[in-house]
Structure 1
């Protein structure tokens, strides 16, 4: 099987795999911060070392060896030893510890520092004005000649399933840290596709409710909240285009030429996601404007009805007001049929006014 076929197979298997969080104590004998520390030689996992320092020593003794160290939300003090051991740049270390970074790729000597924003869909029984739709996290990846250090922030985005699937493909891992970096990028973008499809279902439901003639209970707060969540998703996905383009085309980066070409496939998937997010954002704008227009039309219809009834009521008010002034000398004041005449005049006038409003659609 070709290398690109292997890479795509790993991505498919990772999507179907059961989400296993290796930061769980039962799966992580090295502690809650250090998710895992593994040495690979020729793409094959070696027996677990006793410490990170020993892992580095074992990897250095083999031409095709490298260390993959996984961390979860390390503190500055905990990450200081790792940074010194691998010679990581202080600026990249600061970004990795404090998180909340934009997707980017920076090169410090022969070390590549990549930042990916992870996104997961938050299941909810009903979308409300306060519902959380997407939850974001971060994965930082340091790739050097003989090591990969992944730093994960957030409660989701575990790389455990991806690591296990990569280990079942030793030919891929034999390509070294570049293969791991590609697998992480592909994993993140594939999750974008999954989340985009789920968010689109929510948008379709809101759109159906807004334009349904039988349902006028659409809440603009729900639409606005969904738009905010889409914007958060957009901030995670759209800025990743430039870093992926650099990984795919920059010959000066430490990414091997064999792996560099496959970043173009990831960039193509990301382009599909960004197009869908942009379209969803624009659609939500249209839905929100349509809903506000419907509200305005409904208010205008109510005001027309109120105005029409006020005009009808004005007729008996005027007639009764005239005959309620109690002047001694008034026309028809002592006429025998004056009362019936006044009532009849009110009824006929109100009838024709009501008929006119009815024809014009005000009532």
Structure 2
């Protein structure tokens, strides 16, 4: 589409009521640019627009224009780009923005409804990427119902003169990332692809933080299982860790292919010099993937060890019960023998018969006890 066609389209879209509301909200947010808009990341006006900033030469512009005017100005000059940040927009809130930036309907649907796998898709000159964000949930003590990993999503639209980030979830605020990029204007001057790389790097760095925290939980469970009373450890904690690890795995593993695409396949939205940075992010992701796989194997081993400990403890109990049953069987047998109602039995009329029987019972029981004790059964 020609530049003149873009400008005519922008002029027509300014007449749309929904787009005007988006523009007014974006202008309000720019005037309050230092406000912390982390979750619930809605602007004071209740809109999904969290931040709208224009960058030229890697430098943030503070000129107070609304969204449509900023886009028009960037398209006219061919310099800089607009970074629009949203949090959980509705279809109505996103409709005007989709028209303004000519976003593909399928990508718009994914961005609004979320619950997508990590992926990268190309729609003409626009790149659409989905990242799963993760956050470690702090807990005083790990239980069978503890939440360990919380996940969210970040969708990114990257075009020639814009970046649109759509965030879903209770965490993953991009305010600190934006400030970090603004402190490095030489990187931000490389365009929207630099923002996409920074987002991917930010997400993968969070993966590393979460895996380190999960490692501490696994170490604690492992210590409890192999402690003196390890057979009494709650196996529900191990199963809970495996469930939470599965949620982390669903966020980490599918991102491998999209990062490889960004790092190797040529595309208009990503310059070759930026692709080298994506290769570094891919290396970090492979490290996380290997850690998650090793955690899964380690938890399986811990669970098997715990089940083996329980079996050994049960066998110990059964041996003790069996040994005492053998000891008790001796007096039961002898007393049962002399309890029979026969008129003629040995020692029935003998003066020392009672003492002799008691002595025999005590001797046999003591011998059995000593033998079981020596063999470790008691």
Give the TM-score taking structure 2 as reference length.
0.87
Residue 123 of structure 1 aligns to a residue whose secondary structure is: coil
Contact 1:210 1:287 in 2 (8 A): yes
Q: Which residue in 1 is equivalent to 2:83?
A: 68
Contact 1:49 1:55 in 2 (8 A): no
Aligned 1:85-234 pairs, distance under 5 A: 85-213=100-228, 217-234=232-249
Deviation at 1:360, TM superposition (A): 2.1
Which range moved further: 211-220 or 339-348? 211-220
Contact 1:138 1:154 in 2 (8 A): yes
The whole-number CA distance in structure 2 between the counterparts of 1:331 and 1:243 is 93
Is residue 240 of structure 1 aligned with residue 243 of structure 2? no
Is residue 251 of structure 1 aligned with residue 251 of structure 2? no
Q: Which residue in 2 is equivalent to 1:44?
A: 59
Q: Which residue in 1 is equivalent to 2:303?
A: 288
Deviation at 1:52, TM superposition (A): 2.5
The whole-number CA distance in structure 1 between the counterparts of 2:324 and 2:265 is 74
Contact 1:37 1:55 in 2 (8 A): no
The whole-number CA distance in structure 2 between the counterparts of 1:172 and 1:62 is 20
With over 3 angstroms needed to count, the CA separation of the structure-2 counterparts of 1:155 and 1:146, relative to structure 1, is: same
1:307 corresponds, among 315, 322, 333, to 322
Q: Deviations over 1:170-189 (max 9, x none)?
A: 21121111000000000001
The whole-number CA distance in structure 2 between the counterparts of 1:255 and 1:172 is 14
Deviation at 1:55, TM superposition (A): 2.5
Q: Which residue in 2 is equivalent to 1:356?
A: 371
The whole-number CA distance in structure 2 between the counterparts of 1:169 and 1:315 is 88
Contact 1:38 1:68 in 2 (8 A): yes
The whole-number CA distance in structure 2 between the counterparts of 1:242 and 1:172 is 25
With over 3 angstroms needed to count, the CA separation of the structure-2 counterparts of 1:234 and 1:24, relative to structure 1, is: closer
Residue 130 of structure 2 aligns to a residue whose secondary structure is: strand
Task: For CA contacts below 8 A with separation 6 or more, give which structure has more relative contact order.
Answer: 1
Deviation at 1:80, TM superposition (A): 1.6
Q: Which residue in 2 is equivalent to 1:316?
A: 331
Which range moved further: 332-341 or 122-131? 332-341
Number of residues of Structure 1 aligned to a counterpart in Structure 2: 344
Deviation at 1:29, TM superposition (A): 5.9
Contact 2:38 2:171 in 1 (8 A): no
Please provide the CA RMSD for this pair.
1.9
Aligned 1:328-339 pairs, distance under 5 A: 328-339=343-354
Give the TM-score taking structure 1 as reference length.
0.90
With over 3 angstroms needed to count, the CA separation of the structure-2 counterparts of 1:277 and 1:25, relative to structure 1, is: closer
The whole-number CA distance in structure 1 between the counterparts of 2:334 and 2:303 is 48
Q: Deviations over 1:175-210 (max 9, x none)?
A: 111000000000001111111111111111111111
Is residue 270 of structure 1 aligned with residue 285 of structure 2? yes
The whole-number CA distance in structure 2 between the counterparts of 1:130 and 1:169 is 43
The whole-number CA distance in structure 2 between the counterparts of 1:252 and 1:148 is 16
Contact 1:38 1:49 in 2 (8 A): no
Contact 1:117 1:137 in 2 (8 A): yes
The whole-number CA distance in structure 2 between the counterparts of 1:48 and 1:342 is 109
Contact 2:41 2:50 in 1 (8 A): no
Contact 1:23 1:33 in 2 (8 A): no
With over 3 angstroms needed to count, the CA separation of the structure-2 counterparts of 1:30 and 1:45, relative to structure 1, is: farther
With over 3 angstroms needed to count, the CA separation of the structure-2 counterparts of 1:119 and 1:142, relative to structure 1, is: same
Q: Deviations over 1:276-310 (max 9, x none)?
A: 11111111111111111101100110011011111
